[in-house]
């Protein structure tokens, strides 16, 4: 034999070193055996045609696991062309995937079915390759039992690492391994019975007695999956006689093209069929089932459409099914192993014994849940199972849903019967197409669905009554269409929609938000008892809400010429929406609490966040038990400067914190300010940009406190000490808190009469609050003694809500007496409307009864609002305002109007009819007609007290209950407080009547199809018909002028719809027709005596048929031509048929007609008796009514 070359000698030396290290000699009968170098070299020469594979190098199991990070394959005997052909064929099913890269490595090791764990050798039904450096799982397409514990050379293999590179991968053995040593001889035959003769021997054995071992031979008919029950791993196999009849099981072959969800055991075959292996436990960790692998399925269940929303046909493998791996994947795709323990998919499947439709629905919910929130809390935290500890957020969410779907829990799954019974029974047999009972889509999907719902079947004509719209000009018509809303509940979606989100607060918009990975959704949270939402501890928690209102605000930009074109959507230039949600705190389920701060007490109905413990002190329901153990440090002030708070030099400073308790006595709204915070080296700075901010006046309670950790700031001991000192020992120490930047996030949590605590983390300086204070204005302009110092709130400070002043205990009542008079004055609506009210800024609460978009007053100052618009943008034009009509309750006499500029509406959510709102710092004004109204200014703010009823209409207001029936004499003392009412009256005469057609653009007279304005010429070709009439009515107790407009004029005149249309068409050719009767000239109505239509109308107005009883709905005319002054009552004669009446009446009132109804004789008698019966109980009655 020729002497080996230098290269060959070097290669042989590397082989000796590898085998000495990785394949040491094993113990034999005669002692230790030498390392198998010669045998390995012999195998290599045999495989290589007599030559050593010098291009290859040996690799140990340990090196393979730790150094190889990407999938690879090694083919010892293949040529380059053979490898390229093999790789090309593997890409046929998935051409976009790259093939496995080839490496030149030699793998030698022992094949075994045992692995060592905790010094014990375990058999788990899997095969492994091992050497002296390690052990690795492997998958083989063909296996012989004699191979176990033998040393093999593996000519072709693939190594597949896991996606998680911290864990090792596994081997795919592509061809049969080559034994290094010759196999031991096996006896030619063993006398054994076959299945037919062995069956009576097995069944006749007596239980509970020593059983003799029985050897049985036969042909393998079926192999069951690996099972692990009570920590024991086993499997079933079925034998048949070699001469038995051939069976034809259901057999399917397919290529894995995608892993749908390895944790749920779902794989996609041939891009068409879903393979579900979840019912088999997947104890081999799905090794080998990578995209590109070919599998054979035997005795699987075919499920055509188990779930409506699932796009694939499903092949389900039960415990009687067999899954055989026919070929490995040739693609470079990492291994995705299912979780071995704590797999929530499989645990819920087996715990609730779910069928395939429910399991697929569970998978879809859990997939979406994990995708949305794992970035906030981590996948492990979300999917915690109750088998190990407290259930995670996903289990809290899913288990109640599953219990609702399967209220009567089915029997536990009988795996033995499923495998052994002659009549097959398994959960996959019961398959009925399931329509999902609920859904929990992402927040971005929620917004898309809400937008789609809001525009489904939407038409601008739905927003307006046709009787009103036909009389509107272009500007008013398009303004009325510019802003509308609709509300959606969970039941508005099919299936029912459940909201999930992490509660956050935006420092930009200063509004609460629900957030997931995809988007954010602004939210309004209230309490059912009317207390404001202030649970700061809820921030960062994962919430579930099933009872809510999803509000979609619709914004339209339109240029409709008139109401006749409302069906033509070409006039809609642009449409946008704004979506937010509102719900009650009591309807919230906390799935995961932020930093463990919240306990089950969050579901309590008590609005207070404090409760009284056994010792009489207060503890927070929102804190952990550890937070109740106070560890106060030395209360002496730190002698170091304020820099200690910023630098945190010592370990104490890094963990300690300083807190201070305070009461909110006044809160202002968000505004743009030019605050100049003092800095070292700065005197006065000019030209700074305005920045959004808000301020609150507070009263400090007690002194600052030092805590060893921020989690320990629990009980408000300052209240206890204040109570002990008594009223005399307490000084009123006020401060003006200034919030800017990131501290704006605390805006939705601060409310009047709330007790809060500021926590300064990483600080030990008790004077930190005083050191940061500065005067709000220079001292030369204001006396410092009369103005509280201003404290800018730092971005890193944390706000913690403690309780409400109304919830203080008995021994803390001294604090209430000290704080008396410190809170902001909250007025009632009757007080605001009273003539004796003197304040310019008012705060009050009430319910929104109407919301209307109107033009902004021309004298409005827009400097600040324009700044807001530039900063935030606006979905409404800046020349628009919203008018909110507020009353104590629907039907209450007092109504006050609030005007809010459109630019302020960007951060005001929940202003819907039916909502009860607390308005603060509104400016009270009196119009030139002596009407009281309020305007929203820069310092104003609102708080939602209660949400509107969930059945409120989302379009035009539905007709509610009829207004109350009253006497005219009862109205005079309450004119300022009257929303609307109803009178049974007699129409005495028509004083003036005007019918006209006006231009929809410029409101000039429209005549013969064109606008009459010539200088400049109006381009409009659209006219709008308008009508007005002034009539006199009386009800026996008084008289009133009633102004009627448009369709109410026809009702007053008693004209039918056809008669009214014909009359309007006649007026169109004239442009305008007016008459007057019973009033002096100069009332704004010019007669045309020669006109035929005018003569007809004059004759109609003088006809006795007009003078008749009517039922009139009305409201106060807030712009009368003359302000009524108090006047004494006068006696007046009234005649009804043949009967004369005498009554004391006051001055004639001015009313606006809202509706006119004809009254038949029977109804007239009933209404008269009803009016007389209820007049004695009328809340507006002041004095008797004289009749005779």
The CA-atom distances, in angstroms, between 1062 and each of 104, 423, 1056, 1069, 1070 are 99, 83, 10, 12, 13
Is 901:669 a contact under the CB 8 Å cutoff? no
Q: Angle, to 10 degrees, between the axis of helix 344-351 and the axis of helix 393-405?
A: 30
CB atoms within 10 A of CB 522: 19
**Closest Cα to residue 37, out of 59, 15, 69?**
15
Helix, strand and coil content of the chain, in percent to the nearest 5, comes to 25, 30, 45
Residues contacting 785, CB < 8 A, separation 6+: none
**Residue-level pLDDT at 1084:** 45
Distances (CA, A) of 350 to 284, 738, 1006: 18, 57, 78
Return the residue matching tokens 């381009």.
1019
> How far is the C-alpha of 242 from the C-alpha of 864, rounded, in Å?
95
- The residue among 1036, 1035, 1060, 1032 whose CA lies nearest residue 1046 is 1060
Host H or E run for residue 503: strand 499-505
Tell which residue, 728, 721, 640, 1185, has the closest CA to residue 967: 1185
Taking the mean position of all CA atoms in its chain, how far away is CA 1087?
A: 63
Token pair belonging to 312? 């694939």
pLDDT per residue as tens digits for the range 854-909: 887 665 544 444 444 444 456 777 778 899 999 887 767 678 899 998 888 877 88
In this structure, the number of other CB atoms found within 10 A of the CB of residue 739 comes to 22
CB atoms within 10 A of CB 275: 23
The total of other beta-carbon atoms located within 10 Å of residue 146's CB is 11
Listed in sequence order, the DSSP H helices in 823-968 are 829-833, 863-872
At 385 the pLDDT is 75
CA proximity to 936, closest of 961, 889, 901, 976: 901
Start-to-end C-alpha separation, the chain: 148
The secondary structure of 1075-1127 as a DSSP string is: EE-SS-S-SS----TT-HHHHHHHHHHHSTTTS-EEEEEEEE-SS-SS-----
Q: Which of 850, 908, 860 is nearest to 880 (CA)?
A: 860
Do 462 and 955 form a contact (C-beta atoms < 8 A)?
A: yes
Q: Report CA-CA distances (Å) from 10 to 16, 23, 76, 444, 1120.
A: 10, 19, 19, 64, 114
Where do the DSSP E strands lie in 527-601?
Answer: 542-545, 549-558, 572-584, 588-592
Cβ-in-10-Å burial (0-12, 13-18, 19+) of 999 comes to buried
Q: Alpha helix (H) ranges present in 462-567? A: 466-469, 474-481
Tell me what pLDDT residue 1175 has: 54
Q: What is the pLDDT of residues 1025-1083, one digit of tens each?
A: 889 999 998 887 788 899 999 889 999 988 888 888 888 888 888 888 888 875 544 44
- DSSP result, 817-841: HHHTTTSPP-B-HHHHHSTT---SE
CA angle 19, 23, 28 (to 5 degrees): 125
- Quote the CA–CA distance of 1084 and 1074 in Å, as a whole number: 10
Q: Residue 723: in which H helix or E strand, if any? A: helix 717-725
Looking up tokens 């008796």 gives 1169
Residue 488 token pair: 């959606």
Contact 63, 133 (CB under 8 A): yes
Question: Residue 496: in which H helix or E strand, if any?
Answer: strand 496-497
Measure the CA–CA gap between 543 and 598, rounded to whole angstroms.
12
Average pLDDT by stretches of 10, the chain with 1188 residues: 81 90 72 74 83 91 91 93 91 87 94 81 88 93 90 94 85 93 67 68 63 71 77 78 57 92 94 92 84 92 88 91 91 87 87 90 93 88 73 91 76 79 83 86 95 90 82 86 91 93 90 93 93 91 95 90 86 90 94 62 35 35 32 35 38 72 88 64 55 88 80 57 48 82 92 90 88 71 64 91 81 57 73 85 91 74 45 67 87 83 83 92 87 88 88 46 74 62 87 88 84 84 88 85 90 89 86 74 52 85 85 76 55 66 75 87 68 51 38
Give the chain's radius of gyration (CA, Å).
43
pLDDT at residue 708 in the model:
77
Spatial distance between the Cα atoms of 115 and 10, rounded to a whole number of angstroms: 35
- Tokens read off for 355: 């069928």
- Does pTM surpass 0.75? yes
Asked whether the beta carbons of 162 and 335 are under 8 A apart, the reply is: yes
């Amino acid at each position: 034999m020729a002497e080996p070359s230098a290269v060959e000698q070097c290669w042989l030396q590397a082989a000796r070193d590898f085998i000495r290290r990785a394949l040491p000699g094993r113990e034999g009968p005669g002692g230790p055996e030498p390392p198998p170098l010669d045998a390995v070299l012999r195998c290599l020469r045999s495989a290589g045609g007599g030559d050593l594979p010098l291009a290859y190098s040996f690799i140990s199991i340990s090196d393979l696991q730790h150094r190889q990070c990407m999938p690879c394959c090694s083919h010892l005997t293949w040529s380059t062309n053979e490898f390229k052909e093999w790789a090309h064929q593997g890409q046929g099913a998935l051409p976009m995937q790259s093939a496995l890269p080839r490496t030149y490595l030699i793998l030698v090791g022992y094949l075994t079915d045992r692995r060592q764990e905790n010094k014990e050798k375990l058999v788990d039904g899997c095969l492994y390759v091992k050497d002296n450096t390690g052990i690795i799982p492997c998958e083989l397409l063909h296996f012989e039992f004699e191979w176990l514990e033998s040393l093999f050379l593996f000519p072709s293999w693939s190594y597949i690492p896991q996606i998680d590179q911290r864990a090792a991968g596994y081997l795919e053995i592509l061809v049969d391994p080559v034994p290094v040593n010759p196999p031991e001889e096996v006896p030619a035959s063993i006398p054994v019975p076959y299945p037919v003769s062995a069956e009576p021997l097995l069944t006749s054995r007596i239980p509970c007695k020593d059983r003799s071992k029985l050897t049985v031979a036969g042909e393998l008919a079926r192999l069951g999956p690996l099972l692990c029950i009570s920590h024991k791993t086993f499997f079933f196999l079925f034998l048949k006689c070699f001469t038995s009849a051939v069976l034809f099981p259901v057999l399917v072959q397919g290529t894995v093209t995608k892993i749908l969800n390895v944790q749920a055991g779902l794989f996609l075959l041939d891009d068409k069929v879903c393979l579900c292996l979840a019912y088999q436990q997947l104890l081999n960790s799905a090794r080998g089932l990578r995209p590109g692998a070919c599998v054979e399925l035997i005795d699987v269940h075919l499920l055509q459409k188990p779930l409506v929303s699932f796009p694939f046909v499903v092949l389900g493998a039960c415990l009687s099914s067999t899954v055989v791996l026919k070929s490995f994947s040739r693609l470079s795709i990492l291994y995705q192993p299912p979780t071995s323990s704590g797999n929530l998919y499989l645990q819920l499947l087996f715990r609730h014994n779910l069928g395939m439709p429910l399991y697929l629905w569970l998978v879809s919910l859990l997939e979406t849940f994990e995708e949305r929130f794992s970035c906030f809390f981590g996948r492990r935290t979300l999917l915690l199972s109750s088998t190990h500890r407290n259930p995670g957020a996903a289990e809290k969410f899913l288990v109640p849903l599953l219990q609702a779907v399967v209220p009567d829990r089915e029997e536990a799954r009988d795996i033995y019967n499923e495998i052994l019974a002659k009549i097959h029974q398994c959960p996959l047999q019961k398959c009925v197409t399931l329509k999902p009972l609920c859904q929990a889509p992402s927040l971005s999907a929620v917004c898309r669905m809400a937008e789609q719902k809001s525009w489904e079947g939407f038409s601008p004509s739905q927003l307006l009554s046709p009787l009103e719209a036909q009389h509107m000009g272009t500007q008013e018509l398009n303004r009325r269409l510019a802003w509308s809303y609709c509300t959606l509940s969970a039941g508005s979606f099919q299936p029912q929609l459940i909201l999930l989100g992490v509660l956050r607060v935006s420092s930009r918009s200063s509004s609460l938000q629900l957030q997931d990975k995809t988007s954010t959704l602004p939210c309004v949270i209230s309490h059912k008892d009317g207390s404001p939402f202030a649970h700061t501890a809820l921030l960062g928690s994962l919430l579930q809400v099933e009872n809510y209102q999803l509000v979609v605000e619709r914004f339209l930009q339109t240029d409709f010429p008139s109401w006749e074109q409302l069906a033509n959507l070409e006039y809609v230039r642009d449409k946008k929406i704004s979506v937010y949600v509102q719900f009650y705190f009591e309807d919230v389920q906390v799935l995961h609490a932020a930093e463990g701060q919240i306990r089950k007490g969050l579901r309590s109905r008590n609005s207070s966040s404090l409760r009284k413990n056994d010792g009489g002190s207060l503890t927070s329901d929102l804190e952990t038990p550890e937070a109740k153990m106070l560890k106060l440090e030395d209360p002496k002030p730190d002698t170091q400067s304020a820099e200690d708070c910023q630098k945190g030099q010592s370990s104490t400073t890094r963990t300690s914190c300083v807190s201070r308790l305070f009461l909110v006595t006044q809160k202002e709204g968000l505004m743009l300010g030019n605050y100049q915070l003092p800095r070292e080296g700065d005197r006065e700075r000019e030209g700074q940009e305005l920045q959004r901010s808000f301020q609150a006046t507070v009263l400090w309670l007690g002194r600052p406190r030092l805590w060893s950790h921020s989690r320990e700031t629990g009980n408000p001991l300052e209240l206890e000490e204040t109570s002990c000192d008594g009223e005399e020992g307490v000084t009123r120490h006020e401060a003006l808190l200034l919030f800017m930047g990131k501290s704006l996030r605390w805006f939705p949590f601060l409310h009047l009469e709330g007790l809060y605590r500021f926590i300064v983390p990483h600080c030990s300086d008790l004077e930190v609050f005083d050191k940061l204070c500065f005067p709000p204005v220079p001292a030369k302009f204001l006396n410092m003694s009369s103005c509280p110092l201003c404290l800018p709130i730092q971005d890193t400070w944390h706000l913690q809500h403690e309780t409400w002043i109304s919830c203080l205990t008995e021994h803390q009542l001294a604090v209430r007496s000290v704080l008396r008079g410190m809170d902001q004055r909250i007025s009632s609506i009757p007080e605001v409307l009273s003539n004796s009210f003197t304040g310019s800024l008012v705060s009050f609460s009430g319910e929104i009864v109407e919301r209307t978009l109107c033009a902004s007053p021309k004298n409005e100052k827009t400097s600040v609002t324009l700044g807001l618009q530039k900063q935030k943008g606006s979905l409404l034009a800046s020349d628009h305002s919203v008018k909110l009509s507020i009353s104590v309750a629907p039907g209450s006499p007092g109504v006050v109007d609030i005007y809010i500029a459109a630019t302020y509406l960007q951060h005001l959510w929940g202003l819907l009819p039916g909502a009860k709102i607390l308005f603060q710092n509104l400016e009270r004004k009196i119009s030139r007609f002596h009407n009281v109204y309020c305007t929203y200014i820069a310092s104003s703010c609102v708080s939602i007290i209660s949400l509107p009823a969930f059945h409120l209409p989302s379009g035009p207001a539905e007709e509610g209950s009829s207004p109350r029936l009253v006497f005219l004499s009862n109205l005079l003392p309450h004119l300022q407080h009257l929303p609307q009412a109803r009178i049974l009256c007699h129409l005495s005469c028509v004083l003036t009547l005007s019918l006209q057609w006006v231009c929809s653009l410029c409101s000039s007279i429209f005549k013969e199809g064109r606008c009459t304005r010539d200088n400049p010429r109006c381009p409009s070709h659209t006219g709008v018909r308008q009508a007005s009439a002034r009539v006199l009515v009386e009800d026996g107790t008084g008289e009133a002028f009633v102004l009627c407009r448009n369709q109410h004029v026809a009702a007053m005149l008693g004209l039918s719809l056809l008669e009214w249309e014909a009359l309007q068409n006649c007026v169109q050719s004239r442009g305008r027709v007016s008459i007057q009767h019973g009033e002096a000239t100069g009332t704004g109505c010019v007669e045309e005596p020669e006109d035929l239509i005018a003569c007809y109308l004059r004759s109609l107005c003088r006809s006795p048929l007009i003078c008749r009883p009517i039922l009139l709905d009305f409201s106060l005319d807030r712009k009368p031509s003359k302000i009524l002054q108090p006047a004494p009552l006068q006696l007046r004669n009234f005649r009804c048929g043949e009967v004369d009446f005498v009554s004391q009446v006051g001055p004639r009132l001015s009313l606006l007609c809202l509706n006119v109804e004809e009254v038949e004789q029977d109804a007239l008698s009933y209404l008269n008796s009803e009016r007389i019966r209820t007049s004695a109980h009328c809340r507006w009655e002041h004095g008797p009514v004289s009749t005779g």
